[in-house]
Amino acid sequence: MIDRNHKLPVSHQCTVLGLARSSAYYTSREVSPADLTLMRRIDELHLEHPFAGTRMLRDLLRPEGFEAGRKHIGTLMARMGIEALYRKPNTSRRQRGDEIHPYLLRGLAVERPNQAWAADITYIPMRRGFLYLFAVIDWFSRRVLAWRLSNTLTTDFCLDAVREAIHRYGRPEIFNTDQGCQFTSGEFTGLLKLHHIRISMDGKGSWRDNVFVERLWKSVKYEEVYLKAYDSVADAKANLATYLRFYNDVSWCPTSLCA
């Protein structure tokens, strides 16, 4: 899809296609068809059982004919950017410059647009290969404000979507994410600080802290992604754009009525 011989610079082609610039320079390792099938099934099981670790997933997969071991399942989960969601001691050593912020939304009455936004990344399977989808939503309206696709778990495609959301809707008072390295990086927190946005982060392994994004992912996957097999990035982008417009049309309702 990116034409390196075209007179238009690669960076401009990425902008037109709505792709992260890193996608144009990244060469992915080949993933076997068997692993792609396994990754899709892991993704489906993770949606239904977000607390399931490698041992439980292995036991769930074996009756279906998958013989993968725990280490291989763990490797694929890391590649997909997912992990079992349960509270655990924070013993990992983070990258220099990473910032962890407290969760600010517990007990907060969200009563107007732009009071609080939330964002996350999810895995999107295709016919051959996979992508990552990043989306920003408003906690009051539940509408998707901006989104991007990428074939790498980098920070730049997340930053592009956040900049678009701020440009189109103004800045939120609070921006909530999980503690993923894309969101704790100096680039991401720096963008929020530049716009004087209060930073909120989920408790480690606590999916309920960002429950409205998790609901979005379930809707996207069961109502769109799992019903189709995208042939290309362009195919995925076009179909997701159509679905997310539909989702926004039917998503609005006051928090008091929808909670």
pLDDT digits over 26-40, tens only? Answer: 445 578 889 999 999
Distance CA 246, CA 78 (A): 31
What's the domain count of the chain?
2
Q: Considering the entire predicted model, what is its pTM? A: 0.77
Mean pLDDT of the region 105-130 = 93
Q: Amino acid identity, residue 137?
A: I
Q: Which domain holds residue 21?
A: 10-80
pLDDT at 247 over 60: yes
Of the listed ranges 63-72, 81-90, 120-129, the least confidently predicted one is 81-90
Rounded to the nearest 10 degrees, the angle between the axes of helix 54-61 and helix 33-48 is 110
In a domain, 231, yes or no: yes
In a domain, 259, yes or no: no
Residues 75 and 198 in one domain: no
In a domain, 58, yes or no: yes
What pLDDT was estimated at residue 5? 58
Distance CA 7, CA 220 (A): 36
What pLDDT was estimated at residue 116? 96
3-class DSSP assignment, residue 87: coil
Residues 243 and 135 in one domain: yes
pLDDT at 21 over 80: no
139-192: pLDDT as tens digits:
999 999 999 999 999 999 999 999 999 999 999 999 999 988 999 999 999 999
The helix (run of H) or strand (run of E) holding residue 24 is helix 21-25
Residues 122 and 76 in one domain: no
DSSP letter assigned to residue 151:
S
What pLDDT was estimated at residue 256? 40
220-246: pLDDT as tens digits:
999 999 999 899 999 999 999 999 999
